[in-house]
Chains A and B, each alone.
Chain A
Amino acid sequence: MNNESPTIATDEVLARFVISKRWVRNDGTLKPNAFIPSDLGLSVTRHKGFCESELWQTGFAVAIQRGKMLFGRADFKCGTATRLSLSVRLNALPDNPNHVTISDWPQEKSEQKILAMEIAANATFLAKP
């Protein structure tokens, strides 16, 4: 695992681990509910430096930590968030050095919803292996 740069390029891929079956529609697309932030922002994991199995391993660990089941992950490019004027910052955690927080969401709830909708529209769901 090689994770050098704190700066995340716009074409880097980020993963939102899907821990609720209600985040995924029957046609395999993602609902905006998967991308609504908490007060602390939206937690995602950058792909860079992780091989596929390490990424899934991290996803399973996140799900276990939360007491949830992992259903898959939602991949999208960092630029999708920065284009919406959101900040994307590396926020390494002890068990996830690739942890990223998407922050600077608007205060207004309906504005948060429309941004979540736009991220969802540009994300791809991958079911867990």
Chain B
Amino acid sequence: MIQLTVSNDCYSIPPIVTFGVSDVAEYVVNKAQEQREHMQKTESLGLRAKGVFDELRMVADECHDSGWDGYCAEPVTEETTANAEQFLMTLPLGIAPPSIGAEPDGCLTFEWYKSPVQLLSISISEDGFLHYAYLSGSRKKYGSEPFSSSISKDIIALILEIKS
């Protein structure tokens, strides 16, 4: 069965989009995914080449245990890490790399930063939700949305605003 992704309001290059159910369609989908993974490894386009995936794994390992902050922090689970990796894979190719962190509730965070009053922070949770906060001078935006295989245009626009 081939996954159908509808991306009417999503900016990111969808990982898989097809209406086909044949072996040929499956072959095309797999090849497209391979190509995307390949582009992730390029210095010009890929977050993988820029070491972001390695940094993500490093943070996840550091925060793997309960109480990783020396206090009462929840562990960063494999599920959370997988969600975070999927999020990175779904970002548009060529986007500026975020810095990675973790929070006491076990979420992993991505930060795009220009100055202390111009930044975007996105947390991703075990249940696959994105929780974001954006500050640009006196302008603030914050909210939460589910994440599965695509990132909303709104969030992509916030990333591009910070790194423009």
Contact = CB atoms under 8 A, between A and B. Distances in A.
Interface stretch (B14-22, B39-47, B87-95, B129-137): B129-137
A25 interface: yes
Given A110-B133, A113-B142, A117-B135, A67 B102 contact: no
A110 B131 contact: yes
A89 interface: no
A12 interface: no
A25 B112 CA distance: 11
Interface string A2-30: 00000000000000000110110100011
Interface residues of B, number: 31
A32 interface: yes
Interface stretch (B5-13, B77-85, B116-124, B156-164): B116-124
Given A110-B133, A110-B142, A110-B144, A36 B103 contact: yes
B103 A121 contact: no
B150 interface: no
Contacts of B144: 108-110
Contacts, number: 80
B109 to A, nearest CB: 6
A66 B109 CA distance: 22
B133 A113 contact: yes
Contact of A113 (B70, B102, B113, B121): B121
Nearest to A30: B116
A110 B143 contact: yes
Interface residues of A, number: 32
B142 A114 contact: yes
The residue in A20, A33, A111, A116 that gathers the most chain B C-beta atoms within 10 A of its C-beta is A33
Contacts of A104: none
A30 B111 CA distance: 12
A121 to B, nearest CB: 4
Contact of B116 (A66, A67, A120): A120
Nearest to A63: B70
B131 A67 contact: no
16 contacts: A19-B69, A22-B59, A31-B121, A32-B119, A36-B104, A38-B73, A39-B72, A40-B72, A66-B70, A68-B69, A108-B144, A110-B143, A113-B142, A118-B135, A121-B117, A121-B135
Q: Which 8 A-B pairs have the closest CB atoms?
A: A66-B70, A113-B133, A110-B142, A114-B133, A121-B116, A109-B131, A114-B142, A33-B101
Interface of B: 59, 69-73, 99-105, 107, 109, 111, 113, 116-117, 119, 121, 123, 125, 131-133, 135, 140, 142-144
